[in-house]
Structure formats: structure tokens, C-alpha cells
Amino acid sequence: MRRHRNVKIVATLGPASSDYETIKALHEAGADVFRLNMSHGSHDETRARHRIIREIERELDSPIGILADLQGPKLRVGKFANDEEELIEGESFRLDLDKTKGDATRVRLPHPEIFAALTPGASLLVNDGKILLRVEKCGEDYADCTVLTGGTISNRKGVNVPDVLLPLAALSKKDRDDLEFACDLGVDWIALSFVQRPEDVLEAKALVDGRAAVLSKIEKPSAVKCFDEILEVSDGVMVARGDLGVELPVQNVPPIQKKLVRQCRAAAKPVIVATQMLESMIESPMPTRAEVSDVANAIYEGADAVMLSAESAAGDYPIEAVTTMNNVAVEVECDSNYRGIIEASRRAERTTIADGIVAAAREIAETTDIKVICCFTQSGTTALLTARERPRVPIIAMTSLRGTARRLALSWGTNCIMTGELQRFKQAVVNSARAARVQGFAGTDDQILVIAGVPFNQPGTTNILRVAPCDESLIFASDPE
């Protein structure tokens, strides 16, 4: 299904979007990738949604990406005798391992790993940062704190520890079970929560064992500090602004977002900007102007994808939310300023033959009357390198591997089309011309540009670039066997 935009849309499925008709309508409205949130719903519910997506994919003959988002370890306080208490600024409050229900002076924090890592002066954030505690004194089973910002604390509220590298694995027992389930199901991307260090990603990749691509969610200050190392071992990145905005001053998040997006683009790895993009559309059919500007800014920055969470999973207007995001993307990419911003942020990456091929393809396409760049790819690398260039003409990614096509549904500007295995370059040119015509990218009188690797069907062999006519008779008349 051809999109008239380059940025991709990720839509989360949930109670508001679980039936065949709604999921199909979301895809037709603009959703390129569906997110299955493993924090909510049973395996049976996830399996049913996965099956529906694949049925729609077959019906529409349109590769659809599926991303399984692991929950990660959740740090929460215990329960209170009165269900909730009011913490007063300046007063003391204790966190400990005592299983007794909490009161206005203390509550259980059932995570001994946190106490082991805390030091006096460390900050603790409760309930999405609404309550701020400073550790005054701590031991292996307690932390005595001063309330710096008071508020209502209630049962099972989340705790963030921004100042400390926690000795916690990114994968809990539940995450390991969910990861194995999702990989067996056949998802295309695994999103890893609570990433603090590159070793977290390497552990997940070892468990995935090539069955899916691994995407690192950047939501911890420690991950921002060692982002270069995390990016190197990740297949993609999500700028998860929810926890990031809790654990860091909110004014720090926009420049961090911009920096991470640019680094991902330079590395030719897909990057999603996520969290609260159209939050008001959970309950309203219209977004706020600020939300529209937020989505637009992510697109101007060159993000590969923008994501909807509760808006499409549990909101009252899931289809309208996707439609709005699609419309904003189309409008932004039609803005004359968009190309200038995208091209000003392009970083020259010329270290391999493939880098040179895709850079040359973009320059040729933009200085001549080329209608589309067609790239043949097995692993997806050639298409990702082409997308990194952010060319002014559309990209068709041709592959014989459905898994590659589905993963590329997350990559900027890639229109994925299945093709059979090829043995000769002329076949590649003919297939490209047919795809360009059938999909409406070019007419018989137009020219296209073909990128491929010879010998075929071997990853990492991108070494040939050809300008070709869309008229097959001219291809057969002029091209050698």
C-alpha cells in the first residue's frame, strides 16, 4: 500500500483496536507498524491480534511490521493500609522491605537491588515524578528520605531512580517469557525496555538469536550517557520520552531527542519518537495545537517513525488519531522548508562501497529526471543506507524475504515490495520497472534508478547502480544478458 509520505506511523493495539475491522481501518488510515504492548493483555490476546494483522497483510498484499514491546522491570511501592497517604514537603518518609502495609511515615519497596545501589543524596521519584524524595540515610533494607515535593502516594505507584545505575537486568522473568513467545509468534521487532548499558541489548539479542530485530528504548539517563555504545549494538532505537521526561528535567528532553534522532540517522538505524504525541485524542477527536507541533517537529528532525500509544490502544478515537498523524506528516513533508532542514542535517558517511553507491544514487536522482530509486536488499542494509540519504524521490525496497520487508516497514521512505530470487541483473531491472509502474511511481516514458549487489542473494554486496527506462521493451533491447 503506497503512502504519500516518508515518515512511518506506529500504532499500538489494545482494547480499542483489537478486531479485524478496526485494525484494517488503522492500516488503511496510515499505520505502517503495529505495536503489541506486552505490559498489557494475555498471550492469547496478543496471538489473536498478531493473527489478524497477518490476515490483513495477506488480503492487502502489503507488508506490515509488528513490534512487541517488552515491559521491563517495574519498580513499584507496596500497598497502604488506607490505600493512599498524603506526603508533606519537608517531612520524613521511609522506604523499606517490611511487608506490613504502609502509612504516612513508610511503605514497602520490594526491590533490595535499589537499596544496595542507593547513596545519600540520591533522588527518588514516585508516581511519574509527582513526588520527589531525597535519600538522607540508607542501608541494605531501608532508605530514610526527606520529602522535597509532596503529594498523594497510593498503592503500587511507580518509582524512578534517575541518579543511580541500578544493578537490575533489563529482562525480567516475565520479559524472557514474553520475548520467547513473541519470537515464536513471528514478530519483526522486539523493543527492549529499561536499557541502561550496551550489555542489556547484547543479552536480548542473544536470546532473540536473529528471529527479530532488537530496538532499544532510551528512557534512562544512564542510556543517554552511553548512547553511542548502545546504538552500535542495536538494530533500531525508540526515544521513549515518558520515563525520560520523568528522570530528567523536562527541558532536557527536546535537545536529547534531536541529538538521538540525528545519531540514529547517521548510523542508518531506524528511530521512533514516542510518548504523548497526540495524548488529548484519547478522549477528543481533535488534537491540541501543541501536539500537532510536537509531531511536526519530530518529522522535521528526520525521525523514521512517530508512535501512538494509548491514543490508538485505549482511546475513543483510534482511527482519527492515525488519520491526524498521517495528515500532519503529509503536510509537513510538502512544506518547502522541510527539504532544507532534512538536507542540512545530512552527515556524509563514505566509508564503504555501499555508502558511495547510495550517495551517488541520491545525487543522480536529484539532478536528473529520475522518478524512483529501486534497491534490491536481502538483509535490509541497502534500503536502510538509501533511506539515510533522505532522497527527494521515493524509495522502493525489493526483497525476496518477507521478514526483511516487514522490518523495513519501520524505515523512513521505504516502500517494500516482494520479488522472487534473482539470478541476473536484467531481471532486477525489469522487476524494478514493473514495480514502479504498478505502484504508480513512474510511467512507461520515465526513468528509474536501480541499486543491487552482484552476485545476487548475498547480504553486503551492494556494488552496482544503473539508470534504466521504465519501458521493458527498451530494457530488453539495450541491456546485455
Q: Tell how strand 65-69 and strand 33-37 pair up.
A: parallel
CA 57 to CA 440: how far, in whole Å? Answer: 20
CA 459 to CA 453: how far, in whole Å? Answer: 8
Pick the catalytic residue from 76, 101, 174, 426.
Answer: 76
Strand stretches in 326-382, DSSP E: 370-376
Q: How far is CA 470 from CA 361, 429, 444, 450, 481, in A?
A: 17, 9, 5, 11, 18
275 is catalytic: yes
Say which amino acid occupies 414.
Answer: T
Q: Tell how strand 271-274 and strand 106-108 pair up.
A: unpaired
CA 397 to CA 451: how far, in whole Å? Answer: 10
Count CB neighbours of 28 within 10 A: 15
76 is catalytic: yes
Which residues lie below 8 Å from residue 289, measured CB to CB, with a gap of 6+? Answer: none
Which residues lie below 8 Å from residue 251, measured CB to CB, with a gap of 6+? Answer: none
Count CB neighbours of 10 within 10 A: 29
Pick the catalytic residue from 35, 49, 220, 390.
Answer: 35
Count, residues in the chain: 481
Strand stretches in 120-163, DSSP E: 123-126, 131-139, 142-149, 151-154, 159-160
The three cell numbers locating residue 73: 522491570
Comparing C-alpha atoms, which of 175, 183, 185, 180 is closest to residue 50?
185
Which residues lie below 8 Å from residue 180, measured CB to CB, with a gap of 6+? Answer: 207
Q: Please state the separation of Cα 362 from the chain's center in Å.
A: 25
CA 124 to CA 163: how far, in whole Å? Answer: 8
Strand stretches in 377-421, DSSP E: 395-399, 414-418
- The answer to whether the beta carbons of residues 410 and 236 sit under 8 Å apart is yes
Pick the catalytic residue from 275, 382, 419, 462.
Answer: 275
Q: In 132-185, which residue ranges form alpha helices assigned H by DSSP?
A: 173-185
CA 91 to CA 222: how far, in whole Å? Answer: 29
Q: What are phi and psi of 230, to 5 degrees?
A: -65, -45
CA 126 to CA 137: how far, in whole Å? Answer: 18
Pick the catalytic residue from 217, 241, 390, 407.
Answer: 217
Count CB neighbours of 472 within 10 A: 15
- The answer to whether the beta carbons of residues 70 and 195 sit under 8 Å apart is no
**Which residues are part of the catalytic machinery?**
35, 76, 217, 275
